Amino acid sequence: MGKPTGFIDYQRELPTDRDPISRLGDWKEIHNHLPEVKLKEQGARCMDCGVPFCHTGTLISGMASGCPINNLIPEWNDLIYRGLWKEALERLHKTNNFPEFTGRVCPAPCEGSCTVGISGPPVTIKNIEVSIIDKGWEEGWVTPQAPAKRTGKKVAIIGSGPAGLSAAAQLNKAGHTVTVFERADRPGGLLMYGIPNMKLDKNEVVLRRIRLLEDEGVKFVCNTTVGKDLPSDKLLKEFDATVLCTGATKPRDLPIPGRELKGIHVAMDFLTTNTKAVLDGAEAPINAKGKNVVIIGGGDTGTDCVGTSLRHGCTSVTQLEIMAKPPLNRAAGNPWPEWPKTYKMDYGQEEAAAKFGDDPRVYLTTATHFEGDENGNVKAVHVVNVEWKKDDKGIFGPQKIPGTEKVLPAQLVLLAMGFLGPEQPLLDSLNIERDPRTNVKAEHGKFTTSLPGVFAAGDCRRGQSLVVWAFNEGRGAARECDLYLMGSTDLP
């Protein structure tokens, strides 16, 4: 630890984002970097706490506490304080294949369990992480590292999202010949089409890393749906092992009256087609321009819909959240080192507040039905306030409050209520065993499915989760796959 009193001497400081109003005119990333002298100060705030919870990666109360990929956070914080950037990058890459992704889109459970955060603002771990890797790219320190020799074993990875990419990187490092199959026209999965460009630049960040993987020997095959374009039995015969990383892409729907009306879309269709349009230089097929937009769901996907709608030029945007507004500070039942369930304004809400004057989220509210016009287009969402309590059967849940009904004008409705699990056609074609939630049945840590030589990782195994958990599982599945193929493994 370079400065024992750093957490006392320096206050938490983050770089200012680009101005909310001006950034609505483009799809460029919204974040800036701190100057190096400020980053050294932020690194100095890491207090050598003896038992650092920031990299534990455990689940407490069902939420991540600490880093699921066990990043060596205190080590690279200290190296940054001492100005040893290249050494910090080496330590970062020990546990994280893609820190430029996590440093941009991870919600940073590490900061929620930072020891400094017990009595003050935590260390700016996420910002330091992304600064390290971005400097590594700028300095030319990130170069292709092809394996010295090949094992002769062939591995197929189905899905090129976070889990698939991390599994591919690790298995290629072990010397196997890796082919990644992706049904979309570009590799990257969720990283490419599920996250808007202003949060994660596709050409300068995502495709840059994929090109590096290709230079290291990983092969990507796009526009290929396994089980349809490529029969599952043919794939299993051609490859020595397979890793399923298809994600949990089956959206949760809202089957209330009026759902069939035009202008109501699941959020991921809206986000995916928009990012494709941005990359292709085309007009977004689902467009919010000049429309009153209602987004149902208060999570990250809903926030991305807010930011995207604003960039289209929507007339208004409202985000419905069925849960209560979180407290400003940790509640008594949410102690450190649990993930802090506190109120925050994410980038989309900040932009909406800058443009329209207020946070677009409306709490403790649910939709009851959609209203259409004479042409079958949605024109309004009928909503009602709720309170969380037990019903007459003793079941705790949201109960409607009579007399609180309202009508919100809406020509575009986006359903951002999460996902129910992986799509089933591929799993049906494999006749693979599933758990009660329809996820692929495979034990965490082993990742072995009911089919010999077939492994599963990421959201298709654990259900919808954080990007960083997908990296954890992709690396873990790669290790177990390597062990299966070779009888031993050196992969972490």
Tens digits of residue pLDDT in 312-360: 999 999 999 999 999 999 999 999 999 999 999 999 999 999 999 999 9
What pLDDT was estimated at residue 389? 93
Answer with the one of 113, 139, 165 that is the final residue of a domain: 139
Per the structure block, which two tokens stand in for 311? 């960039």
Answer with the one of 108, 139, 170 that is the final residue of a domain: 139
> Per residue, what are the HEC states of the chain?
CCCCCHHHHCCCCCCCCCCHHHHCCCCCCCCCCCCHHHHHHHHHCCCCCCCCHHHCCEEECCEEECCCCCCCHHHHHHHHHCCCHHHHHHHHHHHCCCHHHHHHHCCCHHHHCCHHHHCCCCCCHHHHHHHHHHHHHHHCCCCCCCCCCCCCCEEEEECCCHHHHHHHHHHHHCCCEEEEECCCCCCCCHHHHHCCCCCCCHHHHHHHHHHHHHHCCCEEECCCCECCCECHHHHHHHCCEEEECCCCCEECCCCCCCCCCECEEEHHHHHHHHHHHHHHCCCCCCCCCCCEEEEECCCHHHHHHHHHHHHHCCCEEEEEECCCCCCCCCCCCCCCCCCCCCCCCCHHHHHHHHHHCCCCEEECEEEEEEEECCCCEEEEEEEEEEEEEECCCCCEEEEECCCCCEEEECCEEEECCCEEECCCHHHHHHCCCECCCCCECCCCCCCECCCCCEEECCHHHHCCCCHHHHHHHHHHHHHHHHHHHHCCCCCC
Pair (397, 441) in one structural domain: no
Residue 272: give its domain's CATH number: 3.50.50.60
Pair (287, 336) in one structural domain: yes
CA atoms within 13 A on the CB side of 244: 34
φ, ψ for residue 293, nearest 5 deg: -110, 130
Q: Per the domain annotation, does 316 fall within a domain?
A: yes
What pLDDT was estimated at residue 50? 85
Tens digits of residue pLDDT in 304-314: 999 999 999 99
Pair (333, 267) in one structural domain: yes
Amino acid at position 445, single letter: G
Answer with the one of 139, 172, 187 that is the final residue of a domain: 139
Whole-prediction pTM value?
A: 0.95
The span from the CA of 266 to the CA of 253, in Å, is 7
The span from the CA of 29 to the CA of 195, in Å, is 12
Q: Please, are residues 449 and 243 in contact by the beta-carbon 8 Å criterion?
A: no
What pLDDT was estimated at residue 1? 63
Pair (413, 271) in one structural domain: yes
Pair (277, 318) in one structural domain: yes
Q: Per the domain annotation, does 148 fall within a domain?
A: no
pLDDT along the chain (492 residues), means of 10: 86 96 97 95 91 91 92 95 97 97 96 94 97 98 97 98 98 98 97 97 97 98 96 96 97 97 98 97 97 96 98 98 96 93 96 98 98 98 96 91 98 97 95 96 97 98 95 98 98 96
Pair (258, 378) in one structural domain: yes
Residue 120: give its domain's CATH number: 1.10.1060.10
Q: How many angstroms separate the Cα of 44 from the Cα of each of 38, 50, 103, 227, 302?
A: 10, 15, 19, 52, 35
Pair (395, 259) in one structural domain: yes
Q: Per the domain annotation, does 133 fall within a domain?
A: yes
Q: Please, are residues 169 and 161 in contact by the beta-carbon 8 Å criterion?
A: no
Task: Tell me the residue range of the domain where 131 lies.
Answer: 6-139
φ, ψ for residue 204, nearest 5 deg: -80, -15
Pair (337, 190) in one structural domain: no
φ, ψ for residue 265, nearest 5 deg: -135, 150
Pair (227, 298) in one structural domain: no
Pair (276, 325) in one structural domain: yes
What pLDDT was estimated at residue 48? 79
Closest C-alpha to 105, from 196, 20, 24, 19 = 196
Q: Per the domain annotation, does 492 fall within a domain?
A: no
The span from the CA of 465 to the CA of 471, in Å, is 11
Q: Per the domain annotation, does 220 fall within a domain?
A: yes
φ, ψ for residue 320, nearest 5 deg: -85, 130
Q: Per the domain annotation, does 1 fall within a domain?
A: no
Pair (337, 288) in one structural domain: yes
Number of domains comprising the chain: 3
Pair (46, 123) in one structural domain: yes
With a CB cutoff of 8 Å and minimum separation 6, the contacts of 90 are: none
